[in-house]
Structure 1
Amino acid sequence: MYFQSFLVVLIFVCVPLKAQYKWFNPLQANYPVVRGQAWQEEPIAPYARLPLRAKEKVRKPLWDLSCQSAGLSIAFRSNTPEIKVRYVVKGALSMAHMPATGVSGIDLYATDNDGRERWCAGKYSMRDTITYVFDGLSYAAKATNGFEYQLFLPLYNSLSWLEIGVPENSTFHFLPVSQEKPIVIYGTSIAQGACASRPGMAWGNILNRKSEHPVVNLGFSGNGLLEKELFDLLSEIDAKLFIIDCMPNLPGEKAKVIYDRTLAGVRKLRENSKAPILLVEHDGYANDATSENAEESYRSANRELREAYNALQQEQIENIYYLTKEEIGIPADGMVDGVHSTDLGMQQYAESYLKKIREILHEEIGTISTCIPCKQQRDPYDWYGRHEEVLKLNRQESPEILMIGNSITHYWAGEPAAGQQYGKAAWDKLFKNKIVHNLGFGWDKIENVLWRIYHGELDGFKANKIFLLIGTNNLLFNTDEEIILGILQITEAIKVRQPQAQLFVLGILPRTNLEKRIQQLNRQLCESIEGSCTYINLFHLLTDKDGVISSSLFRGGLHPNEKGYEVIGVALKKYVK
């Protein structure tokens, strides 16, 4: 008996214990988490793209395609070393010209704490229940709260259910759907995702990943026909931009409907929206150089679209843009079957769109880090959540004054409120009886402010005055020239979005052991912005006669204390009036 008991214990010790997992169903979250659905506030089938009421309005083939999860994704934050996903699809796993990993697979991307995108490799099993395992996930220093993940769903299949699992000792929480206005795509099978090898390589998802704007994918394989019913639905969406990319479904003889349907559709959109509308030509066929019929087929569609565009211009309908076949530039090797895109074609499609969209939305992208917008999550507070708070607050209450900056602004006072406020009395005295929003974010660099501006924090209202204080967190990473160029790019972005507002740029505040460098940088900054906005120098008010930071006005040699904020408030009073 003793020997048997010992043997049982020995076996138990020697057999490795499997980690226990906790599982999360996105549809059971307390808030909407499925991204890419434009109708969040009304009944919609799980992982579908149109509201349930559309079933009685659109043709059955289109409705069936709308139940496929192309362009949908789920975002979450976790510090887990392993992620498991299990789900069931309703249709065939693959197609003759498109692999199962694209038709029915998923794709996982991570964003680290400095806003850099990372692809996650997964091991998968395509059975009745499809499973993906992403293991060996590691995190950079200070990433104790993990990374932000985005899980892209199948391009050409419908989901019955899905669960995400992580080890029990890992953190996990879903990220809510963004309140930022989406880019809306209405198109064909190419827009839906044919024939990407995996969901992340569909051009709409590449656009989502690279621009970081929400994207609604209303691409319907063989059914992007510029129909009234779809434009009626599109007109309900409060979009940042509409993309109309239906020409591949209307070549040859079908092209005769393009002119009238395009005019009717654009006019319908303009009844409810002033958002830019981008009309897109047929991207051509891989064999158009060897087949006159193929060439004439797509050219007939593009001629009709161009005529419609010219007519809209003559009607003086504003914010209508045009993307040509040549601008798209799909090479012959960018197509699987002469029509549908390979990953190479998808990448080219996305790049052409990104270039055009950045022009339309005035989102300049530079070549140095301070001029390349990106997110961050370097502080313990929820950076992404604060951004969403700002968007919500701006919609609820139009601000008269904006204070934009990093932790120095964040922890001063005002709304959205920080966990700690160190200068509330000075804030209340300075901004008495004024609506002021605090757009300060702890640990923000110049490029993080640029991202927030590009992603809606200055949209939908008209402010009277805007104060910008940024750059101290770049001192350890960038040259003075790079810092000044980044600040200049921010000022241009502000003026495009808030042209009526008075813009005030504050010089960088003194910082222990960096006072001389900051003084010189501020002089160069003042010279660079002269005439374009108002420069405010507070440096001398916060240092002693030798130019050394005044310890009585700061906490830790960087952040003002209550007395420091009082000095700043007094200095800004004449500009706030």
Structure 2
Amino acid sequence: MIQFWCRLFLVCFALGLTGKVGAQQPSVIFTDARRLTLTGKAWNSQPFYHRLDTAAYPAIPANVKRLATNSAGLAISFKTNSTRILARWCTSSHAPSGNMTGIAYEGMDLYIQRDNRWQYAGVASPKSHTCSEATIVEHMASGDKTCLLFLPTYDETLSLEIGIDSSASISPADNPFKKNILIYGSSITQGASASRPGLAYPARLSRETGYNFINLGFSGSGKMEPEVADMIAPLAMDAYILDCLPNPSPAEILARMSNLIHTIRRFHPQVPIIVIQTVAREKGTFDQQVAAVVALKDLYSNQEIKKLQEQDKHLYLIRADGLLGHDQEGTTDGIHPNDLGFDRMLQTIRPAILSILSRYGI
């Protein structure tokens, strides 16, 4: 008999005490995320969830146009007093690639402000490769919450609704980030292979510094083409970060780097331009051909940056040496950083970037 009552007590306690056994959760109402605040875009353009209006730039390469439809780095900022938050969203029909989790590729993750920092709260895990509905977090305490929902990193977001308790409210929050710092780069910039969108390094930089780091990573296609240089150079930016060296060939680095820097300089004579040398290929530990190509890219990029720095005192280089550690555990596939690799990378580039920005009063 004593064991029976002990078991009954534990069951009742887990359900929220006997007075709440069998209680029904309140119904849910959904709000179109376009009514809230979108952060992370360089252009105030349509379509809403595309990083840029590709029709406005017909000359840029086809792969860049396609990847610009991915919502990498975009986030929805909102306030709510709901005790739970849900999402209902649709993406394109593309299936995740082998080096990405489904959550990072076409799902979302939520952060909520707590004790003056952004605290991870939950994920919206996709149930299909098109449309899904998920409870991100529930059983929260009542009261106002400031939220940031990071959108899919490698897929096109077609629609998004955020669900809350029917008795609660939801409203746009301010953009929590200041200034505009554009990061142009490769798949590493776009977010491969973080396990979820908010762990891509530009997203982490934004949350951890309070600056608006804008993700213009184009997977495999950050090749410094003149048409892309003409697209990004006129933007009203406080700083530029170029993390594009993994994608171009050694010959393309020699042919295009100088033009990219000079094109930005025509519009921004004194803004800091920071080049990150993330050509850190763990595959090259044993693959001699990979190692040789990486060495040549490092040689040419160092050579070009040094030459440009002779005339440009606002140009900086963060080298790749040890960027992912030295134990060969920092990537998913020998190329793209995993969460550990991105964390190690941030330990080097975050203080270096902040030090440079501070010299300009940013």
- 1:314 Cα offset (Å): 1.5
From 22, 25, 43, the counterpart of 1:39: 43
**Aligned with 2:29 (options 22, 26, 32):** 22
| Equivalent AA in structure 1 for residue 247 of structure 2 | N
Contact 2:87 2:160 in 1 (8 A): yes
- The amino acid of 1:276's aligned partner reads P
Residues in 1 aligned to 2:302 and 2:241: alpha-carbon distance in whole angstroms: 15
Would the aligned equivalents of 2:283 and 2:335 in 1 still touch at CA under 8 Å? Answer: no
* Structure 1 unmatched runs, 5+: 1-13, 364-495, 499-577
* 1:284 to 1:497, Cα distance in 2 relative to 1, 3 A: closer
Q: 1:92 corresponds to which residue?
A: 94
Distance 2:97 2:356 in 1: 36
Aligned counterparts of 1:172 and 1:189: Cα–Cα separation in 2:
34
> What is the count of residue pairs matched by the alignment?
339
Residue pairs, 1:151-550, within 5 angstroms: 151-177=149-175, 180-250=178-248, 254-273=249-268, 274-315=270-311, 317-326=312-321, 328-331=323-326, 332-362=328-358, 497=361
Q: Distance in 1 between matches of 2:293 and 2:56?
A: 32
Alpha-carbon distance, 1:16 to partner: 5.1
CA drift of 1:62 comes to 1.1
Contact 1:279/1:322, CA 8 A, preserved across alignment: yes
Paired position in structure 2 for 1:438: none
Q: Distance in 1 between matches of 2:137 and 2:322?
A: 40
Distance 1:238 1:321 in 2: 20
- Assess, with a 3 A threshold, how the Cα gap between structure 1 residues 312 and 338 changes in structure 2: closer, same or farther: same
Contact 1:181 1:238 in 2 (8 A): no
Shift in Å at residue 99 of structure 1?
Answer: 1.6
Contact 1:39 1:50 in 2 (8 A): yes
Kept in 1, the 8 Å contact 2:84–2:140? The answer is no
**1:40-70, CA deviations, whole angstroms, 9 ceiling, x for partnerless residues?**
1xx3222111224444121111100100111
* Aligned partner letter, 1:269: I
Are the structure 2 counterparts of residues 282 and 298 from structure 1 closer, same or farther at C-alpha, using a change threshold of 3 Å? farther
| TM-score, normalised by the number of residues in structure 2 | 0.87
Structure 2 portions without partners, runs of 5+? 1-20
Cα deviation 1:553-577 (Å, max 9, x = unaligned): xxxxxxxxxxxxxxxxxxxxxxxxx
Q: Report the counterpart of residue 65 of structure 2 in structure 1.
A: 63
Q: CA deviation at 1:344?
A: 0.9
Tell whether the 8 Å contact from 1:196 to 1:346 is kept in structure 2 after alignment. Answer: yes
Q: Distance in 2 between matches of 1:36 and 1:302?
A: 30
Q: Distance in 2 between matches of 1:334 and 1:186?
A: 22
Structure 1 counterpart of 2:17: none
Structure 1: how far apart are the matches of 2:97 and 2:285? 27
With over 3 angstroms needed to count, the CA separation of the structure-2 counterparts of 1:44 and 1:320, relative to structure 1, is same
| SS of corresponding position for 1:173 | strand
Shift of the alpha carbon at 1:181? 2.2
Pair 123,265 (structure 1): closer, same or farther in 2 beyond 3 Å: closer
Q: Classify the secondary structure of the residue corresponding to 2:264.
A: helix
- Match of 1:50, as an amino acid? L
8 Å contact from structure 2 (residues 278, 323) kept in 1: no
Tell me which protein shows more strand as a share of its residues: 2
Alignment partners' CA distance in 2, 1:278 and 1:362? 13
CA contact (8 A) 1:186 1:245 kept: yes
TM-score with structure 1 length normalisation? 0.56
Taking a change above 3 Å as real, the CA distance of residues 23 and 123 of structure 1, as seen in their structure-2 partners, is closer
- Structure 1 CA distance, aligned partners of 2:109 and 2:116? 19
Give, in whole Å, the separation in 2 of the partners of 1:102 and 1:122: 10
Deviations 1:180-226 (A, max 9, x none): 32121111111111111111111111112211211211111110101
Task: Please provide the CA RMSD for this pair.
Answer: 2.3
| CA shift for structure 1 position 123 | 6.2
| Greater Rg by CA | 1
* Structure richer in helix, relative to its length: 1
SS of the aligned residue for 1:130 comes to strand
3-state secondary structure, aligned to 2:140: coil
Q: 1:148 to 1:165 in 2, by over 3 A?
A: same
Q: Which amino acid aligns with 1:211?
A: T
